[in-house]
Structure 1
Amino acid sequence: MVEHHRPQADSLSEKVAQFLAAGGQIAALKSPPRNPIPPPRSPKIDPETVLKRRPKKLTLAERRALRKMADAL
């Protein structure tokens, strides 16, 4: 597998050498934090975008009562 990626590695090394020969500099910087802090939420809530909650499912007792009413009809 290493030999399989050798041409790409050589090409990359060649490009780095060209960059440095042209006066470029490589700077070792501090790595960014792994989990960036999310942006703060807005306190404004638009009434149009408020989530519509799903109604609760019928309980077993309610389903049985509904079935009895349907059978009575």
Structure 2
Amino acid sequence: MYVSNHLSLVEEQRQHVDSIAERTAQFLAAGGTIYQGKSPSINPPPPHRSTKIDPETILKRRKPPITAAERKVLRKLAEAL
């Protein structure tokens, strides 16, 4: 048997549930209608990226790796020392 730890919380909110149900019934009896709209998407689209480029921003670019030819030259220089 399962006993919820939140049972007292459920019972505390019972008066609000009854009140909402009563007001909903009054609204419908007075000729009101309930419209159930489309549910929102779970993940909203990301914000649009700005096309503005700040001229003061210094772009940090990665230097290209050393080529095999440059590596050979460095080895020859190191051996000469």
Gaps of at least 5 residues in structure 2 are: 1-7, 58-81
Match of 1:21 in 2: 29
**What is the one-letter code of the residue matched to 2:47?**
P
Gaps of at least 5 residues in structure 1 are: 51-73
**Are 1:6 and 2:6 counterparts?**
no
Deviation for aligned residue 1:47: 4.8
Q: TM-score, normalised by structure 1?
A: 0.52
Q: TM-score, normalised by structure 2?
A: 0.48
Alignment of 1:24-63 (within 5 A): 24-47=32-55
Following superposition, which runs of at least 4 residues in structure 1 exceed 6 angstroms of deviation?
none
Residues 40-62 of structure 1, C-alpha deviation per residue, up to 9 Å, x if partnerless? 112013457x5xxxxxxxxxxxx
SS where residue 4 of structure 1 aligns? helix
Residues 14-66 of structure 1, C-alpha deviation per residue, up to 9 Å, x if partnerless? 11112212222112222110111023112013457x5xxxxxxxxxxxxxxxx
Q: What is the count of residue pairs matched by the alignment?
A: 51
SS where residue 11 of structure 2 aligns? coil
Percent of aligned pairs sharing the same letter: 59
Q: Tell me how large the CA RMSD over aligned residues is.
A: 2.5
Q: Return the alpha-carbon distance in structure 1 between the equivalents of residues 53 and 30 of structure 2.
A: 54
Q: Return the alpha-carbon distance in structure 1 between the equivalents of residues 55 and 27 of structure 2.
A: 55
